[in-house]
Amino acid sequence: MIALPSSPFATVIATVPAGSFPISVGVNPLTNGIYVANNANSTISVIDGNTITVITAIPVGSGPNSVGVNP
């Protein structure tokens, strides 16, 4: 589960279920796509920041611990 704030210093506006042990988050400011590295289940969750819904979980190598975004 990750919490999405409305700004860096504001209150949480939503929580979204991610994979197991979410460890890193990347945001594409052009598309409002949110990417979460889920360390324990070896996936990257893709979240639509406009609708605050999980689009998919992408299987990746064992234990991802970071994610990068190139807008």
The tally of domains found in the chain comes to: 1
Q: Is residue 41 a part of any domain in this protein?
A: yes
Contact between 30 and 71 under an 8 Å Cβ cutoff? The reply is yes
Structure tokens at 69: 């975004």
Q: Is residue 50 a part of any domain in this protein?
A: yes
Q: Is residue 71 a part of any domain in this protein?
A: no
Angle (nearest 5°) at CA 22 between 45 and 56: 10
Q: Is residue 14 a part of any domain in this protein?
A: yes
Average pLDDT of the chain, as a whole number? 89
Give the separation between CA 63 and CA 40, rounded to whole angstroms: 6
Q: Is residue 67 a part of any domain in this protein?
A: no
Q: Is residue 65 a part of any domain in this protein?
A: no
Q: Confidence band (pLDDT; 50, 70, 90) for 14?
A: confident
Q: Is residue 66 a part of any domain in this protein?
A: no
Provide the domain limits for residue 44. Answer: 2-59
Q: Is the whole model's pTM more than 0.95, yes or no?
A: no
Q: Is residue 28 a part of any domain in this protein?
A: yes
